[in-house]
Structure 1
Amino acid sequence: MDLTSTEEVEYLRTIEWEMMDKKKFFPMSMLSSFSVRCSLYPLTLIKTRLQIQKHDSMYSGLLDAGSKIYRTEGLAGLYRGFWVSSVQIVSGVGYIATYESTRHLVKQYEVSNTTRALISGSAASLVGQTIIVPFDVISQHLMFLGLTDAREGKMILNPLGLSTDPTRSKFRTTVDIAQIIYKTDGIKGFYRGYFASLCAYVPNSALWWTFYHIYQDELYKILPSNVSHLFIQCVAGTLGGFTTTLITNPLDTIRARLQVWFFFGIKFNLFQIYL
């Protein structure tokens, strides 16, 4: 009997950079990123609006925000700024390429898998945020343009003084936002909140990959060997995301406010959060 045929092959938990077919990996990565973004963008928009509002001036919570946006703005309201924000697909390619290549480079130093994930996640987020922040700034202005205070009935989120004419095309409005930011603050205006973005997303990325590997290793220890590997990875990813969000959400709130109310500076935004 050929003993090699009966030997149990160890499951490969991590696919390394050199194992990938790059010609297939990058297109599939962009397609999957776009699909996920299409599905989750309404939640991203709702989250950002909740972060920006002063207490409950517009919405009292997730469900209230979702129902009000859909009722007053329709389905299109849940996708405000989507196409500008979709540039994140390109930054996503830079993100994952940086993550995998950094893991490959760090591999030569004898460090744990968790440490590799921490270092690579940080480097990947640094590259990703450098690409996406200018588009993030424009997208967030589109998300909020023309919104009013539910209690006072007055417009509260139009720091650039843009026209709210409903007949004006989204493309024209996007160009107006970019022009006003550039005229007011130059190129650096598109990177307002950049440091806050790094403070929010670099730890977020580093911690997610770290917690993902920690949870995955622990789940492999406590669950039966016949449990689906895909199930374990999905649970580990979800738990990693939940844990990371609990830690970094305050920084993300400050980032969002700085990118919309950047004219007023960090002191004003911090004051508004605690007021």
Structure 2
Amino acid sequence: MSSMETQPYIRTIEWEMLDKRKFIPLSIASSFSIRCMLYPFTVIKTRLQVQRHHSVYNGTFDAFRKTFANEGFAGLYRGFWVSAFQLVSGVAYITTYETVRHVLQNCGVQDSRVRALAGGGGASLVGQTIIVPFDVISQHLMVLGQVELRPGKGTRRLNPLRIQYESIPRRRIALEIIKEVYKQDGVRGFYRGYFASICTYVPNSALWWSFYHFYQEQLVKVLPPSLCPLLLMQSLSATLGGVTTTVLTNPLDCVRARYQIQRVSSLPETVQALWAEERWGIFTKGLSARLVSSITFSFMVVLGYESVKRLSINDELKPLVRW
């Protein structure tokens, strides 16, 4: 065994080891950069999930091609600036995650997977409470301009809120959506699908962080630091965790997207309608787009997250950090 492997090093950088003045701004910058790169996949995933069968697109590549052809590059970034406000929830998310893990560790919980499971679930609960109103608005923006093929009836543009957006300046479309949502449902409309989001994202987040630590523990046994950089191993662990979680939670995400956008009266009714239309297809509906997004997102998020933690660690601990 090499001396590099026997030397002590910090594999998991904990909350109390960080200089928060560096960590928080660097985390925001990292999150914004990743969101810019991956947002088109979110748009495509949402459009695939809300269509009925293959009435609009035949798959992920077809959705990209038709969106770009019909709406140009801007179509892939519909609702981006509204969605960008989610950076606020991102700070709350990561702060909650690290705080819960820290508290559990102080309470004697040593299993990193259990702490990650609780931290991820708690972080998502806080994050979703902040994010759902922005999610509702951005999802309506995502489907504007989407063309649905109707056999024997030609085509039509999907517009669940019936807004005459063609005659509205682009900078005002989000404002019109806000006004229409409030007009139809009041403040409650901005939290439409909140329970569905909680049911989707809390287990998704809890499982993602738990699998991240599980795969990390397994990979470190076969990929010691002398064979694989620690940061690369962590990014691979995140990717494997993202794939596992995405496959397990895809039906929940389909229900959430359909309920928030198509204004079905209740969550059980949404589940029944989706099952009647798709049957076992709910396990694969939009899955390819989610997998591409999840693989890229998981790899990039942890690459950024763990790099930011290394850059933000207190000076006296830097000699114990490995890249």
Question: TM above 0.5, one fold?
Answer: yes
Letter in 2 for 1:117: A
Q: 2:69 matched to which residue of 1?
A: 71
C-alpha deviations, 1:225-259, integer Å up to 9, x for none?
A: 41111111010000000000011111011111111
Displacement after TM superposition at 1:266 (Å) = 2.6
Q: 2:200 matched to which residue of 1?
A: 200
- d(CA) in 1 for partners of 2:30 and 2:10? 22
Letter in 2 for 1:232: M
- d(CA) in 1 for partners of 2:161 and 2:9? 55
Q: 2:315 matched to which residue of 1?
A: none
User: What's the RMSD between the two structures over aligned residues?
Assistant: 1.7
Q: 1:7 to 1:127 in 2, by over 3 A?
A: closer
Q: 1:236 matched to which residue of 2?
A: 237
Q: 2:274 matched to which residue of 1?
A: 273
Q: Is the 8 A contact 2:264 2:270 kept in 1?
A: no
Q: Is the 8 A contact 2:5 2:225 kept in 1?
A: no
- The answer for unaligned runs of 5 or more in structure 2 is 278-323
- d(CA) in 2 for partners of 1:75 and 1:243? 31
- d(CA) in 2 for partners of 1:213 and 1:266? 33
Q: Is the 8 A contact 1:261 1:269 kept in 2?
A: no
- d(CA) in 2 for partners of 1:76 and 1:257? 23
Displacement after TM superposition at 1:263 (Å) = 4.7
Q: Is the 8 A contact 2:89 2:128 kept in 1?
A: yes
Letter in 1 for 2:181: I
Q: 1:143 matched to which residue of 2?
A: 142
Displacement after TM superposition at 1:148 (Å) = 2.5
Q: 1:125 matched to which residue of 2?
A: 124
Displacement after TM superposition at 1:176 (Å) = 1.0
Identity %: 55
Displacement after TM superposition at 1:6 (Å) = 9.5
Q: 1:106 matched to which residue of 2?
A: 104
Structure 1 residues 243-254: aligned runs within 5 Å:
243-254=244-255
- State how many pairs are aligned: 270
Displacement after TM superposition at 1:172 (Å) = 1.4
Letter in 2 for 1:221: K
- d(CA) in 1 for partners of 2:4 and 2:191? 58
- d(CA) in 2 for partners of 1:78 and 1:251? 24
Structure 1 residues 1-275: aligned runs within 5 Å:
8-111=6-109, 112-151=111-150, 152-155=153-156, 157-165=158-166, 168-226=168-226, 227-274=228-275, 275=277
Which region of structure 1 is more displaced relative to structure 2, 177-186 or 129-138?
Answer: 177-186
- d(CA) in 2 for partners of 1:24 and 1:149? 47
Q: Is the 8 A contact 1:146 1:164 kept in 2?
A: no
Displacement after TM superposition at 1:222 (Å) = 1.6
Q: Is the 8 A contact 1:48 1:256 kept in 2?
A: yes
- d(CA) in 1 for partners of 2:218 and 2:269? 43
Q: 1:268 to 1:158 in 2, by over 3 A?
A: farther
Displacement after TM superposition at 1:109 (Å) = 1.9
Q: Is the 8 A contact 2:124 2:205 kept in 1?
A: yes
Displacement after TM superposition at 1:224 (Å) = 4.0
- The answer for unaligned runs of 5 or more in structure 1 is none
C-alpha deviations, 1:129-165, integer Å up to 9, x for none?
A: 0001000000011111242212443336212110131
